[in-house]
């Protein structure tokens, strides 16, 4: 089983749509979780950290369920500029980051 | 901010040659840097942890004699791909860890180096 599993997509949605990505992880000892965004041929960039209480940053909402080892990302009112690959990430030991393979999002007019 | 640079941004080399990639933290000191490799449509895979002043720690399955890592200063780590082969063609990304002092995990990524071995 992969350490971090994501639906690869692609998710093709129209502008303005709401889209949700899910992620599961296998190591229950993980302390920290993140969503990163990666554009084609670019480095990943931190989108937001994920907390058990849920957190929101503008149109983006992240949720963590430790009991189910499940993480989600909700994007509301999708923009064309949201098109990218979204990477679910958990912390490993010694400050390492363990990446999922990513979910591709394509927002069309 | 925290800026990390990589050089070169892309490189083409012939099979059997060696290629050195540099990773620099430009505005902070990083005792720990990480090297990742990403094949098309795949995840970033951690190759090794580079520790300033000590030997790198390699992930399982990564050949330490093939991927030489040197972290000679608090702002520079280098990855040398020795005797490169076409299967080493990939996107190599480094990150530098900037400790927050409060247990936060802040890694800042370089822009990546695209290596093509012919």
Could you tell me which residue, B1 or B81, shows the higher pLDDT? Answer: B81
| pLDDT tens digits, one per residue of B79-110 | 999 999 999 999 999 999 887 655 455 889 99
| Opening angle at CA B96, ends B91 and B98, nearest 5 | 155
| pLDDT tens digits, one per residue of A15-70 | 999 999 999 998 777 778 999 999 998 999 999 999 888 899 999 999 999 889 99
| Among chain A residues, CA nearest to B58 | A96
- For residues B88 and B115, give the distance between their C-alpha atoms in angstroms, rounded to a whole number: 8
Query: pLDDT at residue A103 above 90?
Result: yes
| pLDDT tens digits, one per residue of B45-76 | 999 999 888 899 999 999 999 999 999 899 99
Length of chain A: 109
Q: What single DSSP character describes residue B50?
A: E
Chain B residues in contact with A85 (beta carbon < 8 A): none
CB contact under 8 A, B111 and A42: yes
CB-based contact A90:A25 (threshold 8 Å): yes
Predicted pLDDT at A4:
92
Q: Which residues contact B93 (CB under 8 A, 6 or more apart)?
A: A43, A44, B6, B35, B36, B37, B38, B44, B109, B110, B112, B113
CB contact under 8 A, A95 and B91: no
To the nearest whole Å, the CA of B17 is away from the closest chain A CA by: 24
- For residues B5 and B26, give the distance between their C-alpha atoms in angstroms, rounded to a whole number: 7
């Amino acid at each position: 089983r992969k350490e971090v599993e994501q639906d690869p997509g692609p998710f093709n949605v129209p502008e303005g749509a709401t889209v949700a990505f899910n992620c599961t992880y296998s190591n229950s000892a993980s302390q920290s979780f993140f969503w990163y965004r990666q554009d084609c041929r670019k480095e990943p960039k931190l989108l937001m950290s994920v907390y058990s209480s849920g957190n929101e940053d503008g149109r983006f909402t992240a949720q963590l369920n430790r009991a189910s080892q499940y993480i989600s990302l909700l994007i509301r009112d999708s923009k064309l500029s949201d098109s990218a690959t979204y990477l679910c990430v958990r912390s490993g030991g010694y400050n390492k980051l363990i990446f999922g393979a990513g979910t591709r999002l394509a927002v069309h007019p | 901010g925290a800026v990390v640079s990589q050089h070169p941004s892309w490189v083409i080399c012939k099979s059997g040659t060696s290629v050195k990639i540099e990773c620099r933290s430009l505005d902070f000191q990083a005792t720990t840097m990480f090297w990742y490799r990403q094949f098309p449509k795949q995840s970033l895979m951690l190759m090794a942890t580079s520790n300033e002043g000590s030997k790198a720690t390699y992930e399982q399955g990564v050949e330490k004699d093939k991927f030489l890592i040197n972290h000679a200063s608090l702002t520079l780590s280098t990855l040398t791909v020795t005797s490169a082969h076409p299967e080493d063609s990939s996107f190599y990304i480094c990150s530098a860890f900037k400790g927050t002092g409060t247990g936060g995990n802040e890694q800042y990524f370089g822009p990546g180096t695209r290596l093509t071995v012919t």
